[in-house]
Amino acid sequence: MAEQDWFVDNNGLIRQSAMSEGDSNSMVSGAPSYRLYRFLTELEDILIRISDDALRLQAIVPLVRKLIDHADWIQMLPLQPDPDTGWAVSMLYDEPFFPLTIQLVAWAPGITSPIHNHATWGLVALLSGQEKNTIWQRSPTAEHPDRIEVRDHCVLNPGDILCLMSDAIHNIEAIGDQPTISFNLYGETDYDRRLEFDPIQNTAEIF
């Protein structure tokens, strides 16, 4: 099965495209490995050159594929979900005063995340397991300005990448019988806009 790229805009609209094996291989011709420092340098070049978040994500996706396909150390890092919480995070890069966060995230089978946005552009590349993403959209009423409703779903398999705009709303569920491990990359978060949503109470709170 071809690896999939998923793009979710600020209104919850999903756009999907497939990358062929040939495309993936052509990006890394002659490069036996891809170091994190080189990835970060090329990533910074994109951030400087491109100001539009959607275009940034399109330019970043090939770099992330290159990294996860040719940086064997990522797959070797020990990360398992915490038995008490059902999830765990391993920080790979978080430099003060530089607007990037890179981490590995693990979810235990059957665990579902809260419904949330990220208040920044972001990208999730699934390394192992299977992850269902439910995409929500705002559907406000006069009585409930934070009302949301389900817009769509997508299922990530290993090698798939999900790109999220800053106001995209989603929650994830680790499906199947294996933990999920993902490579997550985020821009600079506006914490005043980072929200958790309750579709039963029709409320949203900063978290």
Is residue 54 over pLDDT 80?
yes
pLDDT tens per residue across span 112-152: 999 999 999 999 999 999 999 999 999 999 999 999 999 99
Average pLDDT rounded to a whole number, residues 8-22: 79
Is residue 22 over pLDDT 60? no
Provide the mean pLDDT of the chain. Answer: 92
- Walk across the sheet containing 115-116 and list its strands: 148-156, 130-138, 169-175, 115-116, 195-198, 203-206
**117 contact partners, CB below 8 Å, separation of at least 6:** 166, 167, 168, 169, 170, 193, 194, 195
Q: How far, in Å, CA of 149 to CA of 32, rounded? A: 45
Asked whether the predicted pLDDT for residue 23 surpasses 70, the reply is: no
pLDDT bin (cut points 50, 70, 90) of residue 20 is very low
Give the pLDDT confidence of 165-182 residue by residue, as tens digits.
Answer: 999 999 999 999 999 999
Question: Between vectors from CA 37 to CA 34 and to CA 39, what angle results, nearest 5°?
Answer: 55
Q: For the domain made up of 32-206, give the CATH fold.
A: Jelly Rolls (2.60.120)
- Those residues whose C-beta lies under 8 Å from the C-beta of residue 143, and which sit 6 or more positions away, are none
